[in-house]
Chain A
Amino acid sequence: MEWQKTADAVVIGGGMMGTCTAYHLAKLGMKNVVLVEKKTVASGATGRCGAAFRAQWGSRLNIEMGKRCIDKFEHMQEETGMDIGLYQNGYLMIGYTEKEVEIFRESVALQNSMGVPSRMIDHDEARAICPGINVDDALGFSYYERDGQADPFLCNIAHQEAAKRLGVKFQKFTEVTGLKVAGGRIKGVVTSRGEIDAPVVVSAAGAWNRHIGDMAGIDFPVVGERHEALITEAVDFDVCPTMLMSFVGDYYIQQRPNGTIIAGCGPNAYTKADHDPEVMGNSWGFLERTAQVLLKVLPRTRNIGITHQWSGMYDLTPDLQPCIGETDEIKGLWLNVSGCRGFMFGAVAGELVAQMIIRGSSDLDISDFHWRRYAQGKKFKDLMVV
């Protein structure tokens, strides 16, 4: 790809958040958008994620984002011209403590008030939704059938191709090494392959955003946290026909329509490998723990072979919520970080950020996602988080 020294905007990061931001900037009429990516699209968290999306959140803004993201996924093929492997199998939230079930109940009430017809269900219905499940030790459930899954690679690549058709340039294997700042304004980026001057720079580098902030002397409140996942060989699509998720149980399990089963959990559920948590890799602890969870929750998985496991970096923020907006310190420098849900929120967050950059305001007020809340001693509260 030919190197160009100027752009109207540079987006850092080729995951779902960055790619969708670039796509929507171009769609809203920006002519000269360049996306810079250290490796390839979907090589960071997007291509390593649990591949699911939901509207079952616990705060107004997240529910609204979730609603909009479902709408985006339902229309993504139309929008981008590519099949994205959409399958809306619903999320079955499984609660193991009174407190967790109470959070589900309050969240469902809030979701219902906002036009998301999720509901609390009982053990019998949970067993009907996912035959073969063992929920004897669970206390309560919430369910919403429009939550679902899609193929993260296809979603990411669909937006890349759509963005290219609108003129966005993708500079891959290009690492940002510095930011050009003058007079309180962003002037461009310095990369391993040269400089690009631009009045707008959007940092959508997931867990690596902090390094971008450091280049401008700004504290982007993002740290990487390694999470692992595994996938099984394909079997008939009746072992886990819905997404199973529990915060207290610390797991998620879902089967793709091709028959493979994806499962994962947080890093504190097992004994971690003793290497740097910021380094990706696999651990026996995760494999053992997840195999035990699978056997307990879905006893039918007993003889299903695990084909591989991998890990990815969650872009952890202090309150596990998105940090989106223009920096107060440097005009034109934007942060677009999802707080561990970039695949899910990417299409919506990318559009809203593009609207704010081009029009100065967005369809949905997401100022509560600005990370200046931390300086003000505030945290964005949503308990429906992993």
Chain B
Amino acid sequence: MNLIKEHPILEFHHARKVTFSFDGRSLEGYEGEPIASALHANKIRIYRETPKTKRPRGFFCAIGKCSSCFMTVDGVPNVRICVTPLKAGMVVQSQKGNGSVPWSEPEAQKEGDGLA
């Protein structure tokens, strides 16, 4: 994983390492840190494709406001991954267009899945 390890002001205390899936790939990240942080650490920069012009979008405002990082997480579209904490076993998918709404309630994540 490609994360900043030393910083002149901040100190980093990571929680446990968990696995999650990104577009079918199994990746690792730290539980409770933003999904975007985990993706960035795995060198993934493109999160979605815009509805009209099909342009790539990635990390931008980092405070849950700008809509740039919308992804489909556990079947739910338009999740702001910059402010959504990573959980073990999460299914994270690139979002194409507006995002489709699931026809049934996505299955709740089972605790303990995807432990690293």
Contacts and interface: CB of A to CB of B under 8 A. Distances in A.
B76 A235 contact: no
B102 A300 contact: yes
B99 A235 contact: yes
Interface stretch (A51-59, A220-228, A302-310): A302-310
B44 interface: no
A259 B98 contact: yes
A236 B99 contact: yes
A239 B78 contact: no
Interface in A58-94: none
Contacts of A304: 78, 101
Interface string B78-89: 100000000000
Interface residues of A, number: 16
A148 B101 CA distance: 23
Contacts of B56: none
B103 interface: yes
B6 to A, nearest CB: 36
B103 A235 contact: no
B51 A234 contact: yes
Given A132-B103, A234-B51, A303 B98 contact: no
B103 A234 contact: no
A239 B101 contact: yes
Contact of B78 (A132, A233, A302): A233
A300 B103 contact: yes
B77 interface: yes
A282 B50 CA distance: 31
B98 A305 contact: no
A235 B75 CA distance: 13
A77 B98 CA distance: 27
Interface in A289-308: 299-305
B78 A300 contact: no
Contacts of A259: 51, 98
B97 interface: yes
Nearest to B97: A236
A235 B51 contact: no
Contacts of A305: 78
In this complex, the member of B76, B99, B101 whose beta carbon has the largest number of chain A beta carbons within 10 angstroms is: B101
Interface of B: 51, 67, 76-78, 97-103, 105
